[in-house]
Structure 1
Amino acid sequence: MERRQIEYFLAVVENGGFTAAASALHVAQPSLSHAIKVLERDLGAELFHRLPRGVRLTAAGEALIDSARRTLRDMETARATVREVTGLMAGRLDLVSLPTLALDPLAVVIGRFRRAYPEVRIRLAQSELGDEVRESVRTGAAELGLADTTTRSFEELEAVPIGNQELIATLPPGTPAPPAGVLTVDELLDRELITGFPGTLVRDLVTREARRRGREPNVVVELGHRESALHMIAAGAGSGVLPRPLAKLAELEGAVLVSVDPAVEREIHLVRRPGTLSPAAQAFQRMLLAEETSHNET
């Protein structure tokens, strides 16, 4: 397989059709279609079902996606390594993270990285679940990922702990602060809660703590996007438990922030595939680890 064929194949997958893929790549559709046909002939299998509107992957196409992404990622890493030897740092760095981790710590590190390496373009995808972040790295859709802990085993990945992030009880505007200045877990569970769906970190944490006490959490609003919680809380729909960066944004809208006793934290991991990273990813990893080391020391 040639690099161009892999790029065309993945573009059709990601854009849902030949016309959209050709437009995204700025190539003529006949050229793209011919390249895909040559690839199918070389592989001895059709990769797409051609439909009146768009395409659908065949079983062979589904089987090719992960290896195609990893192959393209390895090609990009090899090219970037050669550029580094010649003194050039350019290309693209693909990252994926939980949305709240894009606020902290990624925003600061991305800013510093862009000032140091202005020729490197950054693509940051976001997923609501830590396991989705890991899957994006595993398949090669992203080179580095930032996620919290997981109960699943991802043997094909390496995870480096980079620090902890406090989770804060975030209460609607006008809520009297508790006398002791903190909320116990039992007091938190007595409140009407806004959380994500089952499978998200806070929802699972709240459910686990409630069931340890022989009860169910009083979840009144379930959200698919964690950032929406701060607006719901500010509107008085209920209370929540938010990572500190998101809680501080809610505070700007009038929410009342209270620490939980005992303290509740999430461990943040940098996720990567084993092997050689691209020079851009190596530099970004160094910056991220240095930033977190400095933050933890202060």
Structure 2
Amino acid sequence: MKILLPYRLGDGRNIGTSCSKFLIVPLVLLGSILLLLSVSSNSENRAKAEQESVRRNKKGQQIFKAFYDCVEPKLSPFRGNNDKFWLSFVNETLKCDNLKEYESFNILPVANKDEIKYFIPPNKEVPMTMVTLGIGHDVDAEKTLKQVLPKTEFFGADPTSKINKDLYEKDLGGKYFEYAVGGQNGIQEAFVLIDGAYSNRNVLNIEADLFLRDEVQKQKVDILWMDIEGHEFPVLEMLHRGGAFDNKGVKICQINTEIHKDLDNGVTGEQNMFHEFVWKLLEDGRYVMVKPFLVYFYKDFIRTTLINVHDKECTDLYIK
């Protein structure tokens, strides 16, 4: 005879508890395995990224060595002679503009109304910072840059707000600052464009290192375009190792600059300052100078592009 035992309410709960215990152990093990795999994968990705960063940085060192080995012997005969150095710089460095090592980055031209500027696009789509020192009633190149690099923030400074403010803020969508940026703070004389002509005016000046750190509030500037009518020399000095930019923790990756002389702007000794800047740049091992161009206008000046091939934040961005 089949005997049916009475059902006790606690039995089901005990069975469920036992089953839960059996399920928890494999679930914990599975979770641990998945976590270990994820950590391992992340570690491998970080290691690969670091290896790639080191590779690009080493390639940057090779680029500088190639630049130095080509340019230094060509400029050495003119060392100590400021006039000949100025007149010979473009032709001599232009001979080094097609080095094989430069194939590691892609230099592209972009046009303003009266000049060509150059930039290197990043290897991937990332937020970038672009700064214009000296707007000069022209943002055509910046607008083209914005189309190519839509994630770029734009910051522009010019001591005269008329035309420049609307161009930079309304046409470009950037942020405008009414400063003459250079090597001094306070009210100083500057050579500025007003109503289609240049003249000396007393305007508000700010040091470039303070401007980038405190006004722009960026520690890394990806692209800097500078046309500040002779006041570029103190800014260029800030680029050297141990200079003002290093002291403020500011890195600049690419620079287009005009280098002037003989302007009626209170600045003297420009050829000597340029001579000293180039030789110190070669000692620093940080920037290469490409795309030199000598402009003969009512005063002659040099245009050139500087590329930071030393700092990892820069080389990671644009060296292949």
Give the TM-score taking structure 2 as reference length.
Answer: 0.22
Greater RCO (CA < 8 Å, at least 6 residues apart): 1
Give the TM-score taking structure 1 as reference length.
Answer: 0.23
Which of the two has higher C-alpha Rg?
2
